Amino acid sequence: MGRFDGKVCVVTGGARGIGAAIAYRLGVEGCKVAILDIDREAGEYRVNEFRSKGIDAIYIYADVSNEEHVKNAMDLVYQKFKAINVLVNNAGIGSSGKSLEEQTFDEWRRVIDVNLTGAWLCAKYAVKYMKIGKGVIVNIASTRAFQSEPNTEPYSASKGGLIALTHSLAISLAKYGIRVIAISPGWVDTSEWQVPPRKSQLTPLDHSWHPAGRVGKPEDIAALVAFLASDEASWITGVNIVIDGGVSVKMVYLDENIIEEGLSALFQDREVGKMFREVIEKLKSYRSVEDVRNKLRELLDKL
């Protein structure tokens, strides 16, 4: 396909998941690929896989929250390939899911250091080489920057900060012809891009929740990155693009229709959903919570 022939890309967290899919997509389109990752085994595995498919790739051990690691890694990439044209800040970690009162300062700091400070450091030390010619930085954020589940404060804050960092960098680096874009993925199943690959454990209900009809794949994100990093997107900079199968614009009411559809999808049987609807209609005739409980116990005993 050749959109990136002669160009060099750096993908942080590129050994597994979305990062690996991005590195592969850029590689098959002609990029020389440098994967930065803290997982040595996965990094070597991925680079060997890429090389077996004709991609010129190297692996560099680097913790993106460590300034010395990042500086040395960017220097090594330039020494090897004589350029850095595309930087994909993908490396990231999740948070524990503990309640706010139970979250530790060390957890908060580690998530912010990797997900946000890491992107800043990589941009800081890649720009030295990117500004020699026009370049592109793509930051992988998340829809969690805009919507949250409970107890995700460190992760959500890091991704929100990454979007703010994106538009700030876009303005600061415009004088060098460097574009900066953020992408916010929703739910993406990375099973097949793990080391070793795993089978997906998703259910029909997981897929049906999405207006697009399915959970995302790493290849979906990689395709968008490849477009945004190419000259075809030369008028796009400073923005965040949501890619989530339509979930973030879906208005949801918890009512009988939603539950009926969910059960039908989960069991792949419309009759199950209809049976639930019939039970709900019968329960509405009862006047007390205790009456409802007794009826439900009776129905469960029959099952």
Burial readout 220-258 (b: 16 or more C-beta within 10 A, e: otherwise): bbbebbbebbbeeeeeebbebebbbbebeeeeeeeeeee
DSSP state of 177: T
In whole angstroms, how large is the CA radius of gyration of the chain? 23
Peptide bond into 197 cis (omega under 30): no
Residue 33, phi then psi, degrees to nearest 5: -115, 130
60 pairs with which residues across the strands?
36
Which among 61, 155, 176, 253 is annotated as catalytic? 155
Contacts of 154 (CB under 8 A, 6+ apart): 95, 103, 107, 108, 111, 112
155 catalytic per annotation: yes
Cβ atoms of 34 and 57 within 8 Å: the answer is: yes
Q: Would you please indicate which residues are annotated as catalytic (active-site) residues? A: 155
